[in-house]
Structure 1
Amino acid sequence: MAVVPALDPRPGEHVLDLCAAPGGKATDIARRLGGQGVLVANEPHPIRVRTLVENLERAGAPAIVTQALPHQLAAAVGVRFDAILVDAPCSGEGMFRKDPEARRQWQASSPASCARRQREILACALSMLRPGGRLVYSTCTFNPLENEQIVAWALDSFPVILEAIPLWPGWEPGRPAWVGDPDLTRRFAADIAHTRRLWPHKGVGEGHFVARFRLLQELPDGAGDRPVRRSEWRAARRHSSPSANLAEWRRAFAEWIDAGQVPAPWHEPLWRGPHAYAAPDTELLVRLEQARIRIHRPGLWLASQERGRLEPQHALAMAIPPHLAKQTAPLDEELAVQYLSGAPLPDLGQRGRTLVHLAGWPLGWGNGISGRTNNLYPKGLRRTDLLPLRGEKT
């Protein structure tokens, strides 16, 4: 998780997490953006991207979720992002201690094969970065082929510099002597010392490597093509065939949320069939659609049209602090465990959609009716193995 403070995403920025599954780093980026700016969370693998979507919605993290190879995404969006995270696929040597599967999958050819792929990914990522933008490259391997040598290659091939990352406890500088090539070692030894290694025998964690680049100028022969005209993205919005008109949306939204304190995209959602999303960058979505990039989520999933009426989605409940909900109900630990298991709750004194929470942390929606509160926690997230922590030392 140290790569996200190394990237330092700031409210209002356009940020790309290029290899985002399972989503822990993407949720932290979304938290740091604070609802201002744009987060694109991309994952090429069709199975892993589903986990990414689930985890982002579980955390209420607003993001555009795409499934594309790096070169496909670069060709679609061009130069666009202020900050990019490349947590690159690697040989996984740093995970051997805790993950037997990582040990079984490793082969003698793995580091060199991964290094070739990492160079391709890094080149695509840099082509999407704005001049002056930041890119954090990280791996969970010890191998210099995938770490210091990749960084030296990037310094030699692109108009980038390395910026120092704090020496957090247990971290050490990268090893210039491991660059391998004498000429690159001589030229970039001082820069390589700005990279960071985490050693599992010296700190709390496994084996990781982190480097932060800054792009000095736009790359030649960039991947971007012509700009999208406003008439095109307006046409795309019309083509989305909204299932509810704006007045209906505002009426329903006002029943659930104090609309005066939420981001602007929530007020005029983007519709995809019966589903409403807070789309942070409509022009970007048009580019992605024109390039036939698969979009799993065009933004935060707000609501859906069900049985002739609008119903709020779980992601919306998780995206807001409880005080913004029109109706809330606090739960103690026993009732929270009951709710997360999917069981109905007693009458909480509210009628209709109610955001239930534990000590100010949102849990999801309930529907208050006479005598009980129906449980609207998504079935796929329900847990029956939880116990209250009350009385335990934590």
Structure 2
Amino acid sequence: MNAPGFPPNFLSQLSGSPGFDRENFIEAHQSADAPTSIRLNPFKKIPPPTGNHVPWCGEGYYLDSRPSFTFDPLFHAGCYYVQEASSMFIGHILNHIKGDEPAKALDLCAAPGGKSTLISSALKSNDLLVANEIIKTRVPVLTDNLTRWGPSNTIVTNNDPKDFSRLKGFFDIILVDAPCSGSGMFRKDPDAMNEWSKANVNLCQQRQERILADVYPALKEDGYLIYSTCSYSVAENENILDWLCDTFELESIQIPIQSEWGIVESRSDAHQAWGYRFYPGKVKGEGLFAACLRKKENTGEMPNTKYKEQQKANYKEADLVKPYLNDADNHYYFKVNEDWLAIDKVHKESLATLSQFLYLKKSGVRIGKLAGRDLIPDHELALSLIINKNQSLQTELTKEQAIQYLRRDNITDLIINDKGWSLMTYDGHPLGWAKLLPNRINNYYPKEIRIFSKAEG
């Protein structure tokens, strides 16, 4: 079968890859559209869609057609995330390895946030998620997506992998969804074919090894390293597993799968490390490789350090903030400039440690500023799971009104009976804040994330 469009030598390079079926692979790229899938937020319940389940993800669903997510207020409320189905397998790995003990998890290459929200869904409030993005310009979209998701046990950082080497033995779980040659996205993004070459594969392999070596000291003994790429290349996948086992003391973990899922279970040549390959045509999803290993050595621990407060707290001011939160006494309150923030109290020490070594972009939930005894609430508070909705007015919007609000347009046919700060909600889910006045409303939806498009579709 001919394969128009693929880069020269691409298919011959794949011919030795575990489970590769040339004809099936070509047919999937020529005749099948990439499926659309979403993953529901378990913390913000909505009715499931009518499509089929993603078999390896309890909250994952295939959609029969691709709607305009931009014009769905529930998307902006964080009730679901649009995510490629194969990548949801990371959640299946996490559910298999994570026990009941509190865990600190790091998503090292996190933007735009699909896998971070996936990890967040599997964590409890006494677990901690650190979502890091290396590229500064990609941090805002990561922060926005995690704000929408809602939990307060999340910290976003903007650091190079080598910066984490100082956090010796800090994390129980590290996900490295490594930059790669991108061949797994060829069906979804045909332009990626123009970037592929054997030389680029080799460069990616070297970069992957460097990233893994840099972050490895931050994983504690008996902690888990999850490694994934969207590449089919053995050099970037099984060979990386062998390199890891050659270089460090790591034990490969077999992940249970079902044969009807269509996932190819592979073994690396030298160490027989387990890997999991996703091929379009065999699975209903795009290309992915994933593996899990457990660290079997102690590479050092954090030194005892005297921790500094984020900013000296004014406890009388904090008492004015607490009524806006559920379970207020179980949170640690701190200020960054004039803004009050809160994070689960169990993470106070971790926050102090991370702030010493890393550049923090988001810590817990930003509550807002105090003006006298009144709170000017922040957008993060509106979308958080810890907000005390009974503390504020709530204004329910129709879909048309919700879209107007998300555009920062005038909201038509809105009856205002109260005045003051109000949560603007759609189907009961908060979208953001507005200030209700006798003859108008002031829309406080953030300008930088408003809907710019004027027409649906």
Question: Could you say whether these structures have the same fold, taking a TM-score greater than 0.5 normalized by the shorter chain as the test?
Answer: yes
1:20-169 pair list within 5 angstroms? 20-62=110-152, 63-75=154-166, 77-167=167-257
User: Is 2:320–2:373's contact at 8 Å kept on the other side of the alignment?
Assistant: no
User: Is 1:322–1:361's contact at 8 Å kept on the other side of the alignment?
Assistant: no
- Residue type at the aligned position of 1:302: I
User: Is 2:396–2:426's contact at 8 Å kept on the other side of the alignment?
Assistant: yes
Shift of 1:357: 1.8
- Hey, which bits of structure 1, 4+ residues long, moved more than 6 A? 386-389
Shift of 1:307: 9.0
Shift of 1:51: 2.2
Matched, 1:274 2:365: no
Q: 1:155 to 1:117 in 2, by over 3 A?
A: same
Q: 1:96 to 1:48 in 2, by over 3 A?
A: same
Equivalent-residue separation in structure 1 for 2:195 and 2:328 (angstroms): 46
- Secondary structure at the counterpart of residue 198 of structure 2: coil
Equivalent-residue separation in structure 1 for 2:424 and 2:264 (angstroms): 46
User: Is 1:10–1:32's contact at 8 Å kept on the other side of the alignment?
Assistant: no
Q: Which moved more, 1:353-362 or 1:140-149?
A: 353-362
Shift of 1:143: 0.2
- Secondary structure at the counterpart of residue 208 of structure 2: helix
Shift of 1:34: 4.1
Q: 1:71 to 1:339 in 2, by over 3 A?
A: same
The equivalent position to 2:361 in structure 1, one of 291, 296, 300, is 296
Shift of 1:199: 0.4
Q: 1:167 to 1:127 in 2, by over 3 A?
A: same
1:204-219 pair list within 5 angstroms? 204-219=284-299
Q: Which moved more, 1:137-146 or 1:198-207?
A: 198-207
Matched, 1:353 2:410: no
User: Is 1:317–1:364's contact at 8 Å kept on the other side of the alignment?
Assistant: yes
1:179-194 pair list within 5 angstroms? 179=268, 184=270, 188-189=271-272, 191-192=273-274
Which residue is equivalent to 1:7? 94
- Residue type at the aligned position of 2:377: P
Matched, 1:227 2:295: no
State percent identity of aligned pairs: 32
Equivalent-residue separation in structure 1 for 2:372 and 2:199 (angstroms): 55
Matched, 1:173 2:264: yes
- Secondary structure at the counterpart of residue 263 of structure 2: strand
- Residue type at the aligned position of 2:419: R
Shift of 1:261: 2.9
Matched, 1:314 2:385: no
Q: Deviations over 1:218-261 (max 9, x none)?
A: 23xx3x442223xxx2xx21x6255xx3223322442xx3x443
Q: 1:102 to 1:304 in 2, by over 3 A?
A: farther
Which residue is equivalent to 2:350? 284
TM-score, structure 2 as length reference:
0.71
Q: Deviations over 1:184-241 (max 9, x none)?
A: 1xxx33x43xx2111012222211001011223423xx3x442223xxx2xx21x625
Shift of 1:129: 1.9
- Residue type at the aligned position of 2:139: V
- Secondary structure at the counterpart of residue 200 of structure 1: coil
- CA RMSD after TM alignment: 2.8
Q: 1:338 to 1:303 in 2, by over 3 A?
A: same
- Residue type at the aligned position of 1:332: T
- List alignment gaps of at least 5 residues for structure 2: 1-87
The equivalent position to 1:240 in structure 2, one of 299, 311, 315, is 311
Shift of 1:347: 3.4
Which residue is equivalent to 1:378? 446
Which residue is equivalent to 1:340? 406
Shift of 1:285: 3.8
Q: Deviations over 1:141-184 (max 9, x none)?
A: 000001111112223333322222243654423433xx45xxx1
Shift of 1:49: 1.9
Shift of 1:313: 1.0
Shift of 1:55: 2.2
User: Is 1:65–1:298's contact at 8 Å kept on the other side of the alignment?
Assistant: yes
- Secondary structure at the counterpart of residue 2 of structure 1: helix
Equivalent-residue separation in structure 1 for 2:355 and 2:326 (angstroms): 31
Q: 1:14 to 1:263 in 2, by over 3 A?
A: farther
